[in-house]
Structure 1
Protein backbone atom coordinates (compact mmCIF):
# COMPACT_ATOMS: atom_id res chain seq x y z
CA UNK A 1 0.00 0.00 0.00
CA UNK A 2 1.84 3.06 -1.26
CA UNK A 3 1.35 6.62 -0.09
CA UNK A 4 1.23 9.32 -2.78
CA UNK A 5 2.55 12.74 -1.82
CA UNK A 6 1.68 15.85 -3.89
CA UNK A 7 1.50 19.63 -3.52
CA UNK A 8 -1.16 22.11 -4.66
CA UNK A 9 -1.06 25.91 -4.54
CA UNK A 10 -3.60 28.73 -4.89
CA UNK A 11 -2.98 32.41 -4.04
CA UNK A 12 -0.79 32.14 -0.91
CA UNK A 13 -2.19 28.78 0.25
CA UNK A 14 0.00 25.67 -0.01
CA UNK A 15 -1.50 22.20 0.48
CA UNK A 16 0.57 19.03 0.91
CA UNK A 17 -1.41 15.80 0.78
CA UNK A 18 -0.69 12.15 1.52
CA UNK A 19 -3.14 9.86 -0.29
CA UNK A 20 -3.53 6.11 -0.01
CA UNK A 21 -6.29 3.61 -0.75
CA UNK A 22 -8.94 3.43 1.97
CA UNK A 23 -12.54 4.25 2.86
CA UNK A 24 -12.66 7.92 1.81
CA UNK A 25 -11.59 9.64 5.04
CA UNK A 26 -10.29 13.18 4.55
CA UNK A 27 -8.32 14.78 7.40
CA UNK A 28 -7.22 18.42 7.14
CA UNK A 29 -4.59 19.65 9.63
CA UNK A 30 -5.54 16.84 12.03
CA UNK A 31 -9.27 17.66 11.89
CA UNK A 32 -12.15 16.16 9.93
CA UNK A 33 -13.09 17.84 6.63
CA UNK A 34 -16.51 18.86 8.00
CA UNK A 35 -14.87 20.66 10.92
CA UNK A 36 -12.10 22.42 8.98
CA UNK A 37 -14.23 23.35 5.92
CA UNK A 38 -17.67 23.93 7.49
CA UNK A 39 -19.59 25.06 4.39
CA UNK A 40 -20.90 22.63 1.78
CA UNK A 41 -19.40 24.69 -1.08
CA UNK A 42 -15.84 24.23 0.22
CA UNK A 43 -16.38 20.50 0.77
CA UNK A 44 -17.74 20.14 -2.78
CA UNK A 45 -14.70 22.02 -4.18
CA UNK A 46 -12.40 19.65 -2.33
CA UNK A 47 -14.19 16.48 -3.55
CA UNK A 48 -14.60 17.54 -7.21
CA UNK A 49 -11.59 15.55 -8.57
CA UNK A 50 -12.92 12.32 -7.01
CA UNK A 51 -16.30 12.88 -8.70
CA UNK A 52 -14.73 13.45 -12.12
CA UNK A 53 -12.84 10.12 -12.08
CA UNK A 54 -15.48 8.13 -10.11
CA UNK A 55 -13.17 7.54 -7.13
CA UNK A 56 -15.49 8.67 -4.31
CA UNK A 57 -14.70 6.76 -1.12
CA UNK A 58 -11.72 4.89 -2.54
CA UNK A 59 -8.88 6.93 -1.02
CA UNK A 60 -7.93 8.23 2.42
CA UNK A 61 -6.40 11.71 2.26
CA UNK A 62 -4.31 13.41 4.94
CA UNK A 63 -3.83 17.13 4.24
CA UNK A 64 -1.44 19.73 5.63
CA UNK A 65 -2.48 23.18 4.44
CA UNK A 66 -1.27 26.62 5.44
CA UNK A 67 -1.45 30.21 4.23
CA UNK A 68 -4.26 32.13 2.59
CA UNK A 69 -7.96 31.93 3.44
CA UNK A 70 -10.24 28.93 3.52
CA UNK A 71 -11.39 29.28 -0.11
CA UNK A 72 -7.82 29.42 -1.40
CA UNK A 73 -6.90 26.51 0.85
CA UNK A 74 -9.80 24.41 -0.49
CA UNK A 75 -8.72 25.07 -4.09
CA UNK A 76 -5.09 24.26 -3.24
CA UNK A 77 -6.21 20.92 -1.77
CA UNK A 78 -8.32 20.26 -4.90
CA UNK A 79 -5.26 20.74 -7.10
CA UNK A 80 -3.11 18.46 -4.93
CA UNK A 81 -5.79 15.71 -5.00
CA UNK A 82 -6.06 16.00 -8.80
CA UNK A 83 -2.28 15.63 -9.14
CA UNK A 84 -2.33 12.59 -6.85
CA UNK A 85 -5.12 10.96 -8.90
CA UNK A 86 -2.96 11.42 -12.02
CA UNK A 87 -0.14 9.56 -10.28
CA UNK A 88 -2.51 6.72 -9.33
CA UNK A 89 -3.66 6.18 -12.93
CA UNK A 90 -2.55 8.04 -16.05
CA UNK A 91 -6.05 7.51 -17.52
CA UNK A 92 -7.33 10.09 -15.01
CA UNK A 93 -5.28 12.92 -16.51
CA UNK A 94 -7.44 13.93 -19.56
CA UNK A 95 -10.75 14.39 -17.66
CA UNK A 96 -9.04 16.25 -14.81
CA UNK A 97 -7.17 18.50 -17.23
CA UNK A 98 -10.40 19.22 -19.13
CA UNK A 99 -12.04 20.39 -15.89
CA UNK A 100 -9.01 22.62 -15.19
CA UNK A 101 -7.99 20.98 -11.91
CA UNK A 102 -4.36 20.50 -12.99
CA UNK A 103 -3.79 24.13 -13.96
CA UNK A 104 -2.24 26.39 -11.32
CA UNK A 105 -4.51 29.43 -10.91
CA UNK A 106 -1.87 32.16 -10.88
CA UNK A 107 -4.16 35.06 -9.89
CA UNK A 108 -2.77 36.82 -6.82
CA UNK A 109 -3.60 39.99 -4.94
CA UNK A 110 -2.07 42.98 -6.69
CA UNK A 111 0.34 44.96 -4.55
CA UNK A 112 -0.38 48.48 -3.33
CA UNK A 113 1.56 51.15 -5.19
CA UNK A 114 3.09 54.23 -3.56
CA UNK A 115 1.25 57.49 -4.12
CA UNK A 116 -2.10 55.69 -4.26
CA UNK A 117 -4.73 54.55 -1.78
CA UNK A 118 -4.90 50.95 -3.00
CA UNK A 119 -3.46 48.89 -5.85
CA UNK A 120 -5.34 50.80 -8.56
CA UNK A 121 -7.44 53.45 -6.79
CA UNK A 122 -6.13 56.97 -7.26
CA UNK A 123 -6.76 60.08 -5.20
CA UNK A 124 -9.72 62.25 -6.25
CA UNK A 125 -8.91 64.48 -9.18
CA UNK A 126 -9.89 68.13 -8.99
CA UNK A 127 -9.81 70.20 -12.17
CA UNK A 128 -10.02 73.55 -10.36
Structure 2
Protein backbone atom coordinates (compact mmCIF):
# COMPACT_ATOMS: atom_id res chain seq x y z
CA UNK A 1 0.00 0.00 0.00
CA UNK A 2 1.31 3.43 -0.89
CA UNK A 3 -0.24 6.80 -0.22
CA UNK A 4 0.47 9.60 -2.66
CA UNK A 5 -1.18 12.96 -1.98
CA UNK A 6 -3.78 11.46 0.40
CA UNK A 7 -4.84 8.87 -2.21
CA UNK A 8 -4.53 5.28 -1.02
CA UNK A 9 -3.19 2.82 -3.62
CA UNK A 10 -3.00 -0.96 -3.21
CA UNK A 11 -0.55 -2.94 -5.39
CA UNK A 12 -0.70 -6.55 -6.54
CA UNK A 13 1.29 -8.65 -9.01
CA UNK A 14 -0.27 -11.50 -10.98
CA UNK A 15 1.22 -14.10 -13.32
CA UNK A 16 -0.22 -16.62 -15.78
CA UNK A 17 1.66 -18.50 -18.53
CA UNK A 18 4.18 -15.85 -19.67
CA UNK A 19 2.04 -12.81 -18.78
CA UNK A 20 2.92 -10.57 -15.83
CA UNK A 21 0.47 -7.93 -14.57
CA UNK A 22 1.09 -5.12 -12.10
CA UNK A 23 -2.28 -4.01 -10.75
CA UNK A 24 -3.10 -0.87 -8.76
CA UNK A 25 -6.42 -0.76 -6.93
CA UNK A 26 -7.58 2.79 -6.11
CA UNK A 27 -10.92 4.09 -4.80
CA UNK A 28 -13.04 5.17 -7.77
CA UNK A 29 -16.01 4.36 -9.97
CA UNK A 30 -15.20 0.80 -11.08
CA UNK A 31 -13.31 1.55 -14.30
CA UNK A 32 -10.56 -0.73 -15.63
CA UNK A 33 -7.57 0.75 -17.47
CA UNK A 34 -5.05 -1.64 -19.06
CA UNK A 35 -1.81 -0.24 -20.51
CA UNK A 36 -3.42 3.20 -20.82
CA UNK A 37 -6.48 1.92 -22.70
CA UNK A 38 -10.00 1.19 -21.44
CA UNK A 39 -10.24 -2.41 -20.25
CA UNK A 40 -13.06 -3.49 -22.57
CA UNK A 41 -11.22 -2.03 -25.57
CA UNK A 42 -7.92 -3.72 -24.64
CA UNK A 43 -9.62 -7.10 -24.13
CA UNK A 44 -11.49 -6.84 -27.47
CA UNK A 45 -14.89 -6.55 -25.73
CA UNK A 46 -14.67 -10.27 -24.87
CA UNK A 47 -17.13 -10.93 -22.02
CA UNK A 48 -15.12 -13.91 -20.71
CA UNK A 49 -11.96 -11.84 -20.29
CA UNK A 50 -13.86 -8.89 -18.79
CA UNK A 51 -15.59 -11.18 -16.29
CA UNK A 52 -12.24 -12.71 -15.29
CA UNK A 53 -10.70 -9.28 -14.67
CA UNK A 54 -13.64 -8.10 -12.55
CA UNK A 55 -14.17 -11.42 -10.72
CA UNK A 56 -12.23 -10.54 -7.51
CA UNK A 57 -14.22 -7.30 -7.08
CA UNK A 58 -17.50 -9.12 -7.68
CA UNK A 59 -16.57 -11.83 -5.17
CA UNK A 60 -16.20 -9.16 -2.48
CA UNK A 61 -19.13 -7.05 -3.71
CA UNK A 62 -16.86 -4.06 -4.37
CA UNK A 63 -17.53 -3.48 -8.10
CA UNK A 64 -18.19 0.19 -8.69
CA UNK A 65 -16.14 1.25 -5.66
CA UNK A 66 -12.56 0.70 -6.90
CA UNK A 67 -10.70 1.36 -10.16
CA UNK A 68 -8.11 -1.05 -11.58
CA UNK A 69 -5.04 0.53 -13.18
CA UNK A 70 -3.03 -2.21 -14.88
CA UNK A 71 0.35 -2.58 -16.58
CA UNK A 72 0.59 -5.98 -18.25
CA UNK A 73 3.08 -7.51 -20.66
CA UNK A 74 3.85 -10.90 -22.15
CA UNK A 75 1.59 -13.69 -23.33
CA UNK A 76 -1.78 -13.39 -25.03
CA UNK A 77 -5.14 -12.08 -23.88
CA UNK A 78 -6.10 -15.23 -21.93
CA UNK A 79 -2.90 -15.23 -19.90
CA UNK A 80 -3.05 -11.47 -19.41
CA UNK A 81 -6.67 -11.53 -18.21
CA UNK A 82 -5.92 -14.25 -15.64
CA UNK A 83 -2.74 -12.44 -14.53
CA UNK A 84 -4.78 -9.27 -13.97
CA UNK A 85 -7.32 -11.29 -11.97
CA UNK A 86 -4.62 -12.65 -9.66
CA UNK A 87 -2.95 -9.25 -9.27
CA UNK A 88 -6.26 -7.57 -8.39
CA UNK A 89 -7.02 -10.30 -5.84
CA UNK A 90 -3.62 -9.85 -4.17
CA UNK A 91 -4.11 -6.08 -4.01
CA UNK A 92 -7.57 -6.53 -2.46
CA UNK A 93 -6.00 -8.73 0.24
CA UNK A 94 -3.88 -5.72 1.27
CA UNK A 95 -7.06 -3.64 1.44
CA UNK A 96 -8.42 -5.73 4.32
CA UNK A 97 -7.26 -9.03 5.89
CA UNK A 98 -10.90 -10.21 5.87
CA UNK A 99 -10.86 -10.25 2.05
CA UNK A 100 -8.34 -13.10 1.87
CA UNK A 101 -10.63 -16.02 2.76
CA UNK A 102 -13.42 -15.43 0.17
CA UNK A 103 -10.83 -14.75 -2.56
CA UNK A 104 -8.95 -17.93 -1.68
CA UNK A 105 -12.15 -20.01 -1.67
CA UNK A 106 -12.99 -18.74 -5.17
CA UNK A 107 -9.44 -19.55 -6.36
CA UNK A 108 -8.45 -16.00 -7.30
CA UNK A 109 -5.20 -16.08 -5.30
CA UNK A 110 -3.73 -19.32 -6.68
CA UNK A 111 -1.17 -19.29 -9.49
CA UNK A 112 -2.14 -21.58 -12.39
CA UNK A 113 1.02 -23.69 -12.93
CA UNK A 114 0.17 -24.80 -16.48
CA UNK A 115 2.67 -23.51 -19.02
CA UNK A 116 3.77 -24.39 -22.56
CA UNK A 117 5.54 -27.75 -22.69
CA UNK A 118 9.06 -27.69 -24.08
CA UNK A 119 9.89 -29.09 -27.53
CA UNK A 120 11.77 -32.41 -27.60
CA UNK A 121 14.44 -33.30 -30.15
CA UNK A 122 13.28 -35.77 -32.80
CA UNK A 123 9.77 -34.30 -32.68
CA UNK A 124 8.20 -31.38 -34.55
CA UNK A 125 6.54 -29.87 -31.45
CA UNK A 126 6.26 -30.90 -27.79
CA UNK A 127 4.43 -34.14 -28.67
CA UNK A 128 3.85 -34.08 -32.44
CA UNK A 129 5.98 -36.70 -34.19
CA UNK A 130 6.98 -36.63 -37.86
CA UNK A 131 4.83 -38.74 -40.18
CA UNK A 132 5.58 -42.44 -39.87
CA UNK A 133 6.04 -44.52 -43.03
CA UNK A 134 5.98 -48.31 -42.65
CA UNK A 135 7.65 -48.86 -46.05
Report the TM-score, using the length of structure 2 for normalisation. Answer: 0.89
Q: Which residue of 2 aligns with 1:33?
A: 39
- Structure 2: stretches of 5+ with no match in the other structure: 1-6
- Structure 1: stretches of 5+ with no match in the other structure: none
Matched, 1:9 2:15: yes
Provide the C-alpha distance between the structure 1 equivalents of 2:97 and 2:15, rounded to a whole number of angstroms: 21
Provide the C-alpha distance between the structure 2 equivalents of 1:127 and 1:40, rounded to a whole number of angstroms: 49
Q: Which residue of 1 aligns with 2:112?
A: 105
SS in 2 for 1:2: strand
Q: Which residue of 2 aligns with 1:60?
A: 67
Q: CA RMSD in A?
A: 1.2
How far did 1:126 drift?
4.8
How far did 1:121 drift?
2.0
Match of 1:51 among 40, 58, 73: 58
How far did 1:84 drift?
0.7
Match of 2:87 among 65, 80, 90: 80
